[in-house]
Amino acid sequence: MHLLFSPDEIREAEAPMLAACEAAGDPDRLMRQAAHGLTVHIARTVTRRPALGEPTVPAPASLAVQVEPSASSGARALPRGGLLRGARIVGLIGPGNNGGDGLYALAGLAGRGARCVAVMVADRWHERAAAAAREAGVEIVLHDQALDQLATADVIVDAVLGIGAKGGMPIPGWDAAAQRWAVDGEPLDALVVAADCPSGLNTATGAADELVPAADMTVTFGALKRGLAVGAAREKTGDIYLVEIGLQPPRDIRMMPRLVTPAEADRELLAPHASDHKYSRGVLGVLAGSPEYPGAAVLCAKAAADIGAHDAGRGGIGMLVSAGRGAGGSAVVQALPEVVAIERGELTKTEWPAAARKVSAWVVGPGLGDDPEDIEPALAVMRDSRGPVVVDASALAVWEPAGLHVLTPHAGEFAALAKRLGVKTAAPNEDPLTAARDLASETGAVVLLKGSATVIAGPDGATFVAASAAPTLARAGSGDKLAGVVGAMLATHAARATSSGGELSPERLTPERIAQLTAAAAVLHGVKYSAV
């Protein structure tokens, strides 16, 4: 997992290293290390492009962070010749350390044959870095020449504002109204590279106004910042490359948000034991769909049944119980003949059907609607289930705090739920990490806040980010599938954590562990269904 640092945590980690550099008489050593990583990625990307002047590649389908080893441990040689030599690289240079990073990177690129220009967008700049750039042959001009320089740029380096900014500023060449880089209204074909972060992006929350320019790739330094992984950042950063410079995480990392990778998520799929049977592998109950929305139950159930199918059955549930009504119930059985079907109304009785009593985790809510014949059984499951319950869609509107519950709202449902419960939270669209943590802390539930990056928070503050989903998942039915995948993941682990006496072991399936498993399921959902 990648730890997600706040700006303050970055500064705290940098402080002793900067002090050591200062004491050694080399105050810019970390800056040069960061700049070298920026240079490497620009050189490598330019060299691999089919031809300069072609439209740039759009932002990636999902956030995949690539790590570059520390430049202090034997830097890789930059590619020679190719498209880098003679390329026009224009750096927009701000007044602070971010501008210094850009200037040192331009110096490195100029040394490899690129024609580099530094456009000083402010009235002051990092003097030592500027001197190094001049010595390497970088042309330095003032901001009044910015548009002329950008008009012929092959590469634009955004090194105006760093991690301390919390809002964009007018930057030459960025047409905020059209959300594109342009000169005199004509779109630029240049490759746009952000140094550490797109200028003005809030690296604590991911918030970004229209003045924050979009990049094709972001080369970030030291550690991955929270605001690069969530919120509006997903539309601003492009590919993300992490250049390690030796930063050490805080001693206590338990409450630091973590970005879950697909490899880590895949490892959470359980392989069945030789002695397993259908009940011990995990039984998932699905209370989804209605006569008006029968398809939701099918999508949820099929996704749950398919979670381990890509890897020789690893992670697959042992049995699926569908509590249906009318067309919704029969549709699931037609799609999955192995499903055990029960009547939804039976769940409102004191004695549940035998199959329902075997369930180790439930999914409640997809396509449920608001008919009492559907809502009352959902309330019974949320109240009486001994295992985890994934609460989705319509069920969120009637949910009350109780049990091991995973809430799966999108931003609108989140706001409505928080208002109904009287819980004050951060705005889910502006600061999803804090918002999810707020709701989880106040309700005692695990909260999965859907978005371009999905945030999962446990009531104890443990927080995870799933960013494997592509924009293609923004369509009807994706949430139904997500609920099924989460339910299947929890059902298999709940069954494994159940003692021989039939009681769930709270030590083996804590709320923090449920949050971690939920995040893994969200990542697997994104990987599996983004391209479908």
Q: Name the binding residues.
A: 296, 367, 410, 450-454, 479-480
Q: What is d(CA 102, CA 91) in angstroms, rounded to the nearest whole number? A: 7
Beta-strand relationship, 2-5 and 258-259: antiparallel
Residue with token string 């202090």:
72
Among all chains, which residue has been given the structure tokens 């298999």? Answer: 492
d(CA 47, CA 42): 8
Which residues lie below 8 Å from residue 363, measured CB to CB, with a gap of 6+? 284, 285, 286, 287, 288, 300, 304, 389, 390, 392, 483, 484, 486, 487
Phi, psi of 186 (to 5 degrees): -90, 125
- Secondary structure (DSSP) of 149-210: HHTT-SEEEEES--TT--S----TTEETTTTEEEETTEEP--EEEEESS-TT--TTT----T
- Per-residue DSSP letters for 281-336? T-EEEEE---SS-HHHHHHHHHHHHHTTGGGTTTT--SEEEEEE-THHHHHHHHH-
- Beta carbons within 8 Å of 67's beta carbon, 6+ residues apart: 241, 242, 244
CB 256 within 8 Å of CB 249: yes
In terms of Cα–Cα distance, which of 342, 287, 340, 284 is closest to 317? Answer: 284
- Going by the annotation, the residues of the binding site for AMP are 450-454, 479
- Residues making up the binding site for (6S)-NADPHX: 296, 367, 410, 480
The CA radius of gyration of the chain, in Å to the nearest whole number, is 26
